[in-house]
Structure 1
Amino acid sequence: MLVAMAFISVATTTARQVLDSQDIGLDCAERARLAPQVAAVVAQLRGRTFPDLDLVADAMRLHKRTLQRLLNREGTSLSAIVDEARQLEAHRYLTGTALSLNQISELLGLSSQSAFTRCGHRWWGRPPSAIRATAFRARVAAPQ
């Protein structure tokens, strides 16, 4: 428990330092485009896992309910933004590395390879192995 609290404290401090260095503020004009800012914060805070609502809201100096409400007005949510980040990262791993599907599922913070396969069907309409095979065929067929 103490280790988890120390990790959260360090992560929060790191998030504040990152955002302070970039001077991310939320004036009226920027609130209309909050989702891309949240996606950038999620990418910056990405470590072994994807950040949760509390960490992202704290990093953006918003109450978590305010962040939820603002994202809802834009027709999205933190879970949708994290899911999109996972999808992009998964595609990059599948097409640019030789990591096993199990290793990729672990890197994405998914509970198992079968969870990754279900996500692949939801994201691309086919399993991750098919995405990898298509990328491999495209590399082999590309003229040298």
Structure 2
Amino acid sequence: MTTSSPEFYVSGIAIAQMFYGAQRLGLPAQQAMVRAGIDIQKALQPTCQVPNEQHENFLRELLLASNDELLGLHIGEQTMPAIYGIITSLAINTSSLQQAIQITHQYQALIGGNSGGLRIEEDANGSMLLKPFMVTEHPILRRHLTLTLLTLVLGMGRMVTGKPQLAPQQLWLDFEPASDNEKKHIEALLLCPVKFGQQQTMFKLDAETLALPVNLFGDSGLAELEATAKRQLLEQQQQQGLAGKIKWLIRDQMINGMPRRKTVADRLNMSARTLDRRLADEGLAWQDLLDETRLQLAHDYLTLTELTVAEISQRLGFSDPRSFQRRFRQLCGRSPAEIRQQLT
């Protein structure tokens, strides 16, 4: 395992979740981790940063070993809340499910690092939409990781409220079920209407559900727990350089629209002028980071999806496919078609 800070990473908690969940399913988790190039003793430490590529390779190895089309969901079902440490402690010391979601959302990077998590949107009716996001683009890996995340969030909600039948109001999934068995299992677990093949994965919680009290509420320790979470999050963030943070934010925006300097600066709690100065101090330029991120995302789209060059061009904000192909060749030295031909 590399000792330098990876560009995209998950925490040791996320690796432990997959490792122990796989073990409980009877899978050769240790061998799979070794084949994925992960140092077991280091990677299972909560504050360890494990490159997202190794995280994905670990999941690939487990999929090969299990031949389980529901592996992501089954791993989520096997994960014990205690594995999340401070996150679980924060959740059970809030007063309602809504507060538990809001406060754990602030510290979700302690688990997903900068490779994924949940976005939250609240409407005027008091309902909440939770939208998973991740840098993983491979559709099979993404499907399993999404199912793991949904299962874990639901399991945590059921645990803190003491209601095993807790269910979202509605679930939308951006993939089709691999089989009728998967469809039935997802519906049986979520206990709510599920729409497959949607544009975006998200699930909705209504105001009544969000108002449910937390079963183990004890506000006396919440401030101290949150202080601990803040220290752990700061420690994790300090391991990641400015360039890595900016490229993650650019990639996140690029997947969902066009990245803007001001939006990135706002997410980093600084002005656009301060962002420019910080970049200059480190010998960096916004356009260079934009190009590097665009090149990596284009490469991922070409190798991990079946999107056409025109579709990739549009997603990355180019005016037409020819502009994209010229720029890609300038940055990569090869055309998009040549990259794809390597896979055939």
Same fold (TM over 0.5): yes
Q: Which one-letter code corresponds to 1:122 in the other structure?
A: Q
> Aligned-pair distance for 1:41?
2.2
Q: Which has the larger radius of gyration?
A: 2
Match of 1:75 among 283, 291, 308: 283
Aligned residues: 116
| Structure with greater helix share of residues | 1
Unaligned runs of 5+ in 1: 1-18, 137-144
2:269 to 42, 61, 68: 61
1:135 alignment partner, SS class: coil
Amino acid across the alignment from 2:341: A
With over 3 angstroms needed to count, the CA separation of the structure-2 counterparts of 1:122 and 1:48, relative to structure 1, is same
The TM-score with structure 2 as length reference comes to 0.31
- Does 1:114 pair with 2:322? yes
Instruction: Quote how far apart the aligned CAs of 1:20 are.
Output: 4.8
Pairing 1:65-104 to 2, within 5 Å after superposition: 65-104=273-312
- 1:36 is aligned, of 241, 244, 255, to 244
Q: Measure the CA separation in 1 of the matches of 2:321 and 2:251.
A: 23
Note if contact 1:86-1:108 (Cα within 8 Å) is conserved in structure 2.
yes
Please tell me the root mean square deviation across aligned C-alpha atoms, in Å.
2.7
Give the match for residue 339 of structure 2: 131
Superposition deviation, residue 47 in structure 1: 4.3
Shift >6 Å, 4+ stretches:
none
State the distance in 2 between where 1:45 and 1:67 align: 17
Q: Using the alignment, how far apart are the partners of 1:131 and 1:47 within structure 2?
A: 20
C-alpha distance in structure 2 between counterparts of 1:122 and 1:77, whole Å = 18
The residue aligned with 1:142 is none
Identity %: 31
- Which has the larger share of strand? 2
